[in-house]
C-alpha cells in the first residue's frame, strides 16, 4: 500500500521545551495506525500539527503527495483531514441532526436543505444513532455524543481520520461498541490515525503502532512486537527498580 500521510522529521518547540523531536512515520492508504505513548509524550501535539492547529518548528507533512505543512485547520480539512478530540466538542444548542448538517455545509461539495438532512440521517444510522436526529445533543450519553462527533467528522468525506483518544472514558460495554464502530470504518477502507491508551482496542484495530516517548519515536512496527518491546514497556511502566 502507498503512503497517504507522510510525517518527515517533524519537530515542535515551545520556547525551551521540545514537545516533538525529529519525528518521522507514514500511514498507508487504508491503514489504521495507532500513535501510542505515555502521557506527555507528544501524541496530541502531533495530532494538532497534522490537523493544522499548530505549526511545526521544523519538518514536512504530505497528504497524498501534497504538502500540508503549516496550513491552517480549515485548509487542512479541505484537503481531506478530519478529527475528533480528547474532550468531545459538540454544538450543545443544536440537535443531533443539526450538528452533522453543520459539517455538511462546509465540506467541498456542500449540502443544503433536504439533501443535507437525508445525508445527516444516513451518517447517524452508520454511527448507531438511527432515528435520534431530533434529540438535543446535550442530553445524550457520553458514548452517543462521541458518535455524533464521529458522524460530524465523517460528514466531510475525509481521506484521513484522526481519532484522539476517542475511546477514552467508556465503560466495557460502550468500549466494545466503539471498537466495533471503528472496525467498520477500517473494513470500509478508511485511513485512520488514532491516539489511544486502551490496549484492547489497539490490539483489535491496528496491525501497526508507532510509539513516542518524551517527543521522540521509540518504536514502529507490528502491534504485538511493539507492545512487548522492552523499551516500550519501560516507557510506560518505568524500570524494574522504579
Edge-to-edge strand list for the sheet holding 58-63: 17-28, 3-14, 58-63, 66-67
Burial class (CB in 10 A: 0-12, 13-18, 19+), 208: middle
What's the mean pLDDT in 224-234? 94
51 pLDDT higher than 50:
yes
All three cell numbers of 63: 497528504
Edge-to-edge strand list for the sheet holding 216-222: 81-83, 160-164, 191-195, 32-36, 208-213, 216-222
242 pLDDT higher than 60:
no
| Residue whose C-alpha cell is 460530524 | 152
Cα(196)–Cα(93) distance, integer angstroms: 29
Contact, 133 vs 97, CB < 8 A? yes
What's the mean pLDDT in 33-40? 94
Confidence grade of residue 241 (pLDDT, cut at 50, 70, 90): very low
Which 3 state secondary structure label does DSSP give 6?
Answer: strand
pLDDT of 239: 62
Phi, psi (degrees; rounded to nearest 5) at 59: 105, 180
Contact, 11 vs 21, CB < 8 A? yes
Provide the 10 A C-beta neighbour count for residue 109: 6
pLDDT in tens, 169-189: 888 998 998 999 999 999 999
- pTM equals 0.92
196 CB-near residues (< 8 Å, 6+ apart): 34, 36, 163, 165, 166, 167, 168, 202
Amino acid at each position: 500500500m502507498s503512503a497517504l500521510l507522510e510525517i518527515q522529521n517533524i519537530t515542535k518547540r515551545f520556547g525551551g521545551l521540545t514537545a516533538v523531536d525529529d519525528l518521522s512515520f507514514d500511514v498507508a492508504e487504508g491503514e489504521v495506525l495507532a500513535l501510542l505513548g505515555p502521557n506527555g509524550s507528544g501524541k496530541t501535539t502531533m495530532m494538532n500539527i497534522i490537523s493544522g492547529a499548530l505549526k511545526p518548528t521544523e519538518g514536512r507533512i504530505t497528504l497524498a503527495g501534497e504538502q500540508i505543512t503549516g496550513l491552517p485547520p480549515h485548509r487542512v480539512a479541505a484537503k481531506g483531514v478530519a478529527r475528533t478530540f480528547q474532550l468531545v466538542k459538540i454544538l450543545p444548542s443544536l440537535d443531533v441532526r443539526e450538528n452533522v448538517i453543520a459539517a455538511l455545509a462546509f465540506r467541498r461539495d456542500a449540502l443544503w436543505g433536504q439533501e443535507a438532512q437525508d445525508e445527516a440521517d444516513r451518517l447517524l444510522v452508520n454511527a448507531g444513532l438511527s432515528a435520534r436526529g431530533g434529540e438535543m445533543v446535550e442530553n445524550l450519553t457520553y458514548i452517543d455524543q462521541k458518535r455524533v462527533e464521529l458522524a460530524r467528522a465523517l460528514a466531510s468525506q475525509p481521506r484521513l481520520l484522526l481519532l484522539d483518544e476517542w475511546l477514552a472514558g467508556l465503560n466495557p460495554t460502550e468500549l466494545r461498541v466503539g471498537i466495533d464502530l471503528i472496525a467498520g470504518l477500517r473494513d470500509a477502507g478508511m485511513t485512520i490515525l488514532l491516539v489511544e491508551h486502551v490496549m484492547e482496542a489497539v490490539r483489535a484495530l491496528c496491525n501497526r503502532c508507532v510509539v513516542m516517548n518524551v517527543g521522540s519515536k521509540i518504536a514502529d512496527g507490528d502491534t504485538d512486537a511493539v507492545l512487548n518491546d522492552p523499551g516500550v514497556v519501560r516507557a510506560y511502566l518505568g524500570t524494574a527498580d522504579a
